[in-house]
Amino acid sequence: MKAAPDAQKRLLDLAELDSVADRLAHRRRTLPELAEIDEQSKRYAKLATEVIEAETEAGDLAREQAKAEGDVDTVRARAERDQKRLDSGAVTSPKDLASLQSEIASLHRRQGDLEEVVLEIMERREAADSKVADLRGKLDEVAAARGAAEDRRDAALVEIDKEAGETAGRRSAVAGDIPADLLGLYEKLREQYGVGAAMLRGGRCQGCKVALSIAEMNRIKAAPHDDVLRCDECRRILVRTAESGL
């Protein structure tokens, strides 16, 4: 293939812009915020499950407490009713009176036991409620941290998009200076090797950094200026410049 030396040199500008585009794409994929958002999302999901578990436990205890309080009320009502019967003087037989008094005493004991059960449930419920509040607080913190990381990610992406847009604009201007067949070869090589063209600098290919042999340098010296050369090592287009050492 043949191309004017100036057109060949434009390939180096194109390769430089393509490497900028590659760096931007790499930066876009590896933004530290992406890993951070992922980490916070995992923490959020785990905490959300813990919140639901804690809320379920607190809800169960609230129902248990209501039931135990109902039991206390029932026993208290029975004791009050018996007390009224006793106070009314309607029960006169000593045997019945003794039996009534014994039942009242037994109900009072039962009420005391049930009130202790209520207190014990209340303590557990307080602990469960405070666990719910604690977990909800942590959940809010994680949500805020994730939101902040998302904002930073978005700001970085806006910056990258802006730079990528400018690079693409400059690239199409440069590509316009390069004949279609040479550009086609460059694109094909870029697809295969990541970089399509490299400068020959001081007898060394800047693509693979390999120094050319004397025989190879002699062959290049003898080649017409418009010959499109390739590096024997890396197959990239080898562009001659004043720095080539020829």
| Complex with Zn ion: residue 196 or 207, whichever CB lies closer | 207
Q: How far is the CB of 201 from Zn ion (least distance, A)?
A: 11
Asked if 234 touches Zn ion (CB under 5 A), the answer is yes
How many secondary structure helices (H) and strands (E) does the chain include? 5, 4
Amino acid of residue 47 = L
Asked if 205 touches Zn ion (CB under 5 A), the answer is yes
What's the rounded Cα separation, in Å, for the pair 204 and 198? 10
Name which of residues 75 to 114 contact Zn ion (CB under 5 A): none
Asked if 208 touches Zn ion (CB under 5 A), the answer is yes
Asked if 3 touches Zn ion (CB under 5 A), the answer is no
Query: Which H, E and C letters describe 23-73, residue by residue?
Result: HHHHHHHCCHHHHHHHHHHHHHHHHHHHHHHHHHHHHHHHHHHHHHHHHHH
| Complex with Zn ion: residue 156 or 208, whichever CB lies closer | 208
Q: Which residues fall within 8 angstroms of residue 13, CB to CB, at 6 or more apart?
A: 174
Name which of residues 37 to 66 contact Zn ion (CB under 5 A): none
Asked if 217 touches Zn ion (CB under 5 A), the answer is no
| Complex with Zn ion: residue 61 or 205, whichever CB lies closer | 205
Phi, psi at 58, each rounded to 5°: -65, -40
Stretch that binds Zn ion, among 43-51, 104-112, 181-189, 229-237 (CB under 5 A): 229-237
**For Zn ion, which residue of 50, 55, 57, 233 counts as binding (CB under 5 A)?**
233
Q: How far is the CB of 19 from Zn ion (least distance, A)?
A: 15
Asked if 231 touches Zn ion (CB under 5 A), the answer is yes
Stretch that binds Zn ion, among 13-21, 112-120, 172-180, 202-210 (CB under 5 A): 202-210
Q: Cβ–Cβ contacts within 10 Å for residue 142, how many? A: 20
Tokens for 137, please give them: 């607080």
Stretch that binds Zn ion, among 87-95, 163-171, 184-192, 198-206 (CB under 5 A): 198-206
User: 88 - beta bridge partners?
Assistant: none
What's the rounded Cα separation, in Å, for the pair 116 and 106? 16
Phi, psi at 196, each rounded to 5°: -90, -25
Q: How far is the CB of 208 from Zn ion (least distance, A)?
A: 3
Asked if 207 touches Zn ion (CB under 5 A), the answer is yes
Amino acid of residue 28 = R
Stretch that binds Zn ion, among 43-51, 127-135, 181-189, 208-216 (CB under 5 A): 208-216
Q: Cβ–Cβ contacts within 10 Å for residue 239, how many? A: 24
Q: Write out the residues near Zn ion by the rule CB under 5 A.
A: 205, 207-208, 231, 233-234
